[in-house]
Amino acid sequence: MAIFGGRRRNDNPNLPPGQHLTESFPVLSAGPTPSISADDWEFSIRTEGGDIHRWSWQELLALPAEDVTVDIHCVTSWSKLGTGWRGVSLDTLFADVDTGLDYVMAHSYGGYTTNLPLEEVLEGRAWIAYEYDGEPLDPEHGGPARLLVPHLYFWKSAKWVRGLVMQDDDYPGFWEENGYHLHGDPWREERYA
């Protein structure tokens, strides 16, 4: 006799509750893939005082890069373990940024936004990633560069990132305005508001 009920159970200690492993890298987007050439790409951080710190593609590539291996978890329940990325730590980009605010809104080419507490993107927890698995990041996965915040659900790792704007409160981004959780911790199953 089969007994049904409750949530799917996993025995892998690297899998948050309610997640399942995938070997593929599913492509999910809120809209069409924008076409951004590296020559036209720019990343910026705007502070509450109106100061704008900018990096062109070549300036980003000239900064110290890190190779990171991390697990990623999508709110739709797939997880991919041990993914390899190369990019610039947000600690490097924030080194000369003077702000007294505690939140950022990530903005992407194509109009996507997502909100994050500043503490979630500093201290070695987030990168502007431009390579995946040793290759330039494909446009369908956010290339030429995406935000990588692997300890939160993957919608927080904004594809086609173009900048961060400091904000005084945790105002919701695109998916958060549409019912997703403001924070998005997969270990707490913070999927929906």
Res. 4: pLDDT tops 70: no
Which residues, at least 6 apart from 193, have a Cβ–Cβ distance to it below 8 Å? 176, 179, 180, 181, 182
pLDDT digits (tens, 9 = 90+) for 149-193: 999 999 999 999 999 999 999 999 999 999 999 999 999 999 998
Structure tokens at 44: 């910026």
In contact, 166 and 99? CB cutoff 8 Å: yes
Alpha carbons 81 and 167: distance in angstroms, whole number: 32
Structural domain span for residue 114: 41-188
What percentage of the chain reaches a pLDDT higher than 90? 87
Task: Say if 109 falls within a structural domain.
Answer: yes
Task: Say if 175 falls within a structural domain.
Answer: yes
Q: How many independent structural domains does the chain possess?
A: 1
- Sign of the Cα pseudo-torsion (73, 74, 79, 85, in order): negative
Number of Cβ within a 10 Å radius of residue 73: 24
Task: Say if 21 falls within a structural domain.
Answer: no
Binned at pLDDT 50, 70 and 90, residue 5 comes out as very low
Task: Say if 16 falls within a structural domain.
Answer: no
Question: Any idea what the CATH number is for the domain that residue 132 is in?
Answer: 3.90.420.10
Task: Say if 166 falls within a structural domain.
Answer: yes
In contact, 112 and 158? CB cutoff 8 Å: yes
60 SS3 class? helix
pLDDT digits (tens, 9 = 90+) for 85-123: 999 999 999 999 999 999 999 999 999 999 999 999 999
Task: Say if 33 falls within a structural domain.
Answer: no
Task: Say if 163 falls within a structural domain.
Answer: yes
What's the mean pLDDT in 34-53? 95
